[in-house]
Amino acid sequence: MRAPYGLNILDNCVSCPVRGQHLFCNLSPQAAHRLNEVKSTAVYPKGTMLFIEGQQARGVFVLCVGKAKHSTSSRDGKTIITKISDAGDILGLNAVMSNRPYEVTAEMMEPGQANFIPRDSFLQMLKDFPDVAMRVAQQLSRNYYTAYEEIRTLGLSASPSEKFAKLLLTWSSKSAQEDGSAQVKLTLTHEEVAEIIGTTRETVSRLFSEFKKKQLMQMKGATLVIRSRFALEKICQS
């Protein structure tokens, strides 16, 4: 089904053509049928906040299409992006499982689709279908390691250059070639990159310029071309 923004709505989890590619969505037919019964599907424009930090957890969102950023803010207005979610991720999972308010704000970074599952229905699925519980456990484990890497990057990296290099390595891990090059579609602004690595927009702009001059990377439209992951790894090791 066609939708605004040129998206194809994936409204049937049983017949979804990409469900096998995503951790949570790769469920048994019986569990997928239950998911169809309890979820509600919606298309969201860029900038939509799916939930807000401190809001009582009312359910989870399964991201079908698009990207969403998770951020947390201090009282003085400083914001840090803690994670970028891709299609197949479950948003709001930690809060729903612990019955606590959402710990972050989730905002769509581009037009996309998400399935909302109310908390009670989601928890009942975990009781009724062991494969759903296993997928959730795996997602929680991924969330833990994402948070762990975020703490390492922000707390142990010696310089903004090292933090930036680690971020580029993380982005390029899925598209890395044997020669050490990689290409990544860049959808973040310099301000958002700064919020990920805990620095200022001006510093990020300077880092982009420096890495280009050193021929570590280049921009081709919206595509970030990383020339050598090996060189980035040396920066991190130094």
Same domain, 130 and 188: no
The CATH number for 206's domain is 1.10.10.10
**In terms of domains, do 75 and 113 share one?**
yes
Shared-domain flag, residues 126 and 166: no
Domain of 93 in residue numbering reads as 4-154
pLDDT in tens, 152-172: 766 666 689 998 998 898 888
Same domain, 94 and 198: no
- Say if CB 28 and CB 134 are below 8 A apart: no
Report pTM: 0.81
Tell whether 123 and 188 lie within a shared domain.
Answer: no
Q: What is the pLDDT of residues 74-132, one digit of tens each?
A: 887 788 898 899 888 999 999 999 999 999 999 999 999 999 999 999 999 999 999 99
CATH of the domain at 78: 2.60.120.10
Final residue in a domain of this structure, among 154, 173, 204? 154
Contacts for 8 with CB less than 8 Å, ≥ 6 apart: 1, 2, 65
Domain edge (last residue) among 124, 154, 184: 154
Q: Are residues 18 and 99 both part of a single domain?
A: yes
Nearest to residue 66, comparing CAs of 185, 225, 192? 185
Tally of CB atoms within 10 A around 120: 12
Out of 13-17, 21-25, 148-152, 194-198, give the one with best mean pLDDT.
Answer: 194-198
